[in-house]
């Protein structure tokens, strides 16, 4: 973890590697489950810093847009892995205090017209995982925004059989359960 964190801070490492490093945090959390608690706060600080970087990036050209979309996918994949890893060991409550920040960033990204299908799929998957991690209404207020229903509808309207459509159906069911 410390080497990955150092690489994120490196000015020498090419920026295209950094979204993959963020995604690795999720992979590590999935692999070690509840033991990820040790790294949780520092990882969330790094991820929220990446969220701020992404939110502050202006879409000046296609390369910038593409990089920002890659960064967002890496961020969302990290959050997915952390959520799933902690939930698997009954420690999902550890991320509860971060849900508002995560949802705020997702709402921001939802309104971005340069958002790619990969970003949309990662966002919808994260919505489903958060709803699945808190099925008893603990995050109900965060899951009831109109933008969430619109995002899921957008995913469900993708081509038949597409993975985006499948993820969207699943997320819709998880959100329904968590808001019932």
DSSP symbols for 79-118: HHHHHHHHHHTT-GGGGGGGHHHHHHHHHHHHT-TT--HH
Is 90 exceeded by the pLDDT of residue 141? yes
Burial of 130 (0-12, 13-18, 19+ CB in 10 A): buried
- Euclidean distance between CA atoms 92 and 83, whole angstroms: 6
- Euclidean distance between CA atoms 144 and 171, whole angstroms: 13
Closest CA relative to residue 166, chosen from 152, 177, 178, 180: 152
Given this structure, which CATH class describes domain 2-179? mainly alpha
Q: What integer pLDDT is reported at residue 10 of this predicted model?
A: 86
130: confidence class by pLDDT, cuts 50, 70, 90 = very high
pLDDT tens-digit readout, 20-50:
999 999 999 999 999 999 999 999 999 999 9
Do 97 and 83 form a contact (C-beta atoms < 8 A)?
A: no
Q: For the chain, what are the domain ranges?
A: 2-179
pTM of the model: 0.95
Tokens 């949309």 found at? 120
């Amino acid at each position: 973890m410390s080497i990955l964190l150092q690489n994120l801070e490196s000015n020498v490492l090419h920026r295209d590697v950094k979204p993959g490093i963020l995604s690795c945090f999720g992979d590590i959390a999935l692999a070690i489950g509840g033991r990820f608690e040790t790294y949780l706060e520092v990882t969330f600080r790094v991820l929220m810093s990446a969220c701020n970087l992404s939110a502050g990036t202006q879409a000046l050209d296609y390369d910038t847009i593409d990089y920002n979309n890659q960064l967002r996918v890496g961020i969302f994949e990290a959050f997915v892995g952390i959520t799933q890893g902690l939930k698997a060991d009954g420690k999902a409550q550890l991320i509860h205090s971060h849900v508002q920040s995560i949802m705020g960033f997702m709402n921001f990204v939802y309104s971005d017209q340069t958002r790619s299908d990969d970003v949309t799929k990662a966002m919808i998957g994260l919505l489903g995982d958060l709803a699945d991690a808190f099925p008893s209404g603990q995050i109900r207020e965060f899951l009831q925004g109109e933008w969430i229903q619109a995002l899921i509808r957008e995913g469900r309207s993708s081509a038949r059989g597409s993975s985006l459509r499948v993820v969207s159906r699943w997320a819709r069911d998880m959100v329904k359960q968590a808001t019932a």
